[in-house]
Structure 1
C-alpha cells in the first residue's frame, strides 16, 4: 500500500492534470470518446451521464445548441441522465444570492421545455443533497493545495481578481465538481476539449480513493468508476455583438425571450460593411455567425443559405435569422410559458429529482464510510 505522502506526490497522479492537456492524452480522450459514442448506440444502459449548469442567469441559444439538445438526445437513447443545478457553485465567486431561487426554477423550466423528461432524467440541486456535499471531506484529503491552484478554473479566478484572496469554496471547486460526478457514479461526462483537466481531477480523486481505501472486503473492486469524457463538437456561436456569447455580456438570445424581443435583439446584431453575404467564419465572423444560426435552426447548409441571400445584405440576413429562430423555438417557448405558470409542478419535479439524488448519494456515502472503516453502529 502506498504511503499518504507518496500517493499525493506520485508522478502518475500528481502530474495528471498537466498531462491531460498533452497531445497524446488528447488523442486518447478523443479515441475513447468515439468508442463510447459507438457503444451508446448499442448499449445505452451501460452509461450514466452527469452534466449541469450554474444558475447565474437565464439559458440562451448557446446553451441550447452547445449542450441542451445533446442532453435530450442522450436521454432519448436510454442513457441514465443526471442534470445538476449547481446552486452552491454560485457562491464560489459571487456575493449576491437573492435571485438564485428564481433562476433555479427558470433553468428547470428551460430543461423541461426543451425535452428533458423527469421520468428519465434526474434534475437536482446541490444544496438539497447533504450526502453529496459530505463526500467533499474525504475527497479533500486526497488532493494538495498546489494541485487545486493548478486547476484551470481556479487559476483563471486568481488571475481575474489580481491576486485578491479567493474563498475556500472557490479553491476547492474542483473537489466539489468531483463529488458531483462521483456521488452517482457517473461514467460519462459531456465536456469540450478545454474541460478535460477538470474531468481528470475527478479521475484522480476516484483513483486515489480506491488506492487508499478500496472497497471493504474486496480491494479489487473499485468504489468509484473513473468517468470518461464524452467530447462534443459544439457550434461556436458568438454573441450578437460579435464577441463570445455570455450571460454577463448581455449579448445573448435567451430561450425565454418572446418573438418580438428576439427580433429586437437580432436587429442590433453586429455585421460588417460588405453587402454581399458569404459564409466565411475566419474572415467574416459576425456575418457568418448569423448565417450559422440560420443553419442550425433550419437544418440547412450555411453555404447554401449565404449563397441564396447573396446581395440581399444584412437586412435580408437578419430577417431570415429572426424568422428561423422564432419558428424553431416557438413550441419550446409555448411549453416554457405553460411550465412557468405552474410553479407547483416545477417544485414537484425538483422535489422528486432531489429525493432520487439523495437516495443515491446516501448509498454512495455509506459505501465510502464502509471502505474507510467509519461505520460505528
Structure 2
C-alpha cells in the first residue's frame, strides 16, 4: 500500500511546480522542494507574493536549487507517510516521497489585520531542521504586509541579518528596547537584527516613552529618531560656544581695567606722599613751591580718575566676561540662573563677588 501511495505522490510532486523554477542543479547545491503552505483567510495576492519572494530568495543563496514539486501541504505529506506530527523523526522517513534533499513548508494565518508566518527548512541528509521561524507577524494594511513579506523571507533564509540606527535627543539616560527587550542606553547602532517588523521604543527616566514600528530589511541601514521634551538642540550649543570669545575679551578688558586702577592707586599714593612732604605743616607755600604744588594736584586728579575708572570699568567687565565664559563652558540652565555677580566700587577699592545658589 505504501508503494502505491508513493507512486501517486511522486507523480503529483513532479508536475506541481511551474517550469519557470525548474532548472538543473549545480553539483554543490542542495535541491529543495517548497510545499504548499497552509493558510487561513489569506488573500491570494499575499500568497502569490510570498511564494515569489521565497523562491527567489532560496535560489539567490546559490546553496539551494528549487526541485519540482510542491502542490501538497505538510499535513498531506505526513498523512502519506503514516505519521501524526511533522517532527524530525517523522520527516526523516519521508524522503522517498520528496524529489529533493531539503523540504520547506509552513503556514500563513490571518486574523483581521494581522498576518502570522511560520516557515521551516528540513534537511533529509542530517535529519534536522536547518532553519525555522515561528509565528512571525505583520500587523497592518495590504501595503504594509506587501512591504513586510520580503523581510520575513529574508529572516528565514539569511537569519538575523538586518541593522538599524537609533538616534536619541534629550535625556541623559534613555532606555532603548527592541521588541520589548532592552538593548542599551541612548543613541546606538543595532546589528544582527532579524529582518521583518520591529517595534523600537525609547523611555526616559521619568517614564516618557516614544515608540516606532518599522520594517527592517537585509542590506539596508535605516535610522529611527526619538526626541524628548528636554532635548538639547545643536543650535543653543553653538550659541553657547559663540559666547566664549566675547567672554574672554570682556574678562581681558576687565583685567586691564583693574591694572589701570591699581596703577592709578599707586601713583596717587606716591603723589600724596610728595604733597605732604612739600607742605610739611606750613601754613603758606613759598613762591617757588606754588607751581610744584599745582603740578602735584593735577597729577593727583589724573591718578584719582584712573583709579575710579579702572576699578569700575574693570570690575564690570570681569563680571560680564566671567558670566559669558561660564555659559560657554556648557553649564546647565538651572546652574546659569543660580549664578549671580556682585561688583562694588569704593573710594579706594573695588570688589567683585560670585554667588552660586544650590
TM-score (norm: length of structure 1): 0.24
TM-score (norm: length of structure 2): 0.25
- Flag the structure with higher helix content: 1
Larger radius of gyration: 2
Bigger relative CO (Cα 8 Å, ≥ 6 apart) = 1
- Flag the structure with higher strand content: 2
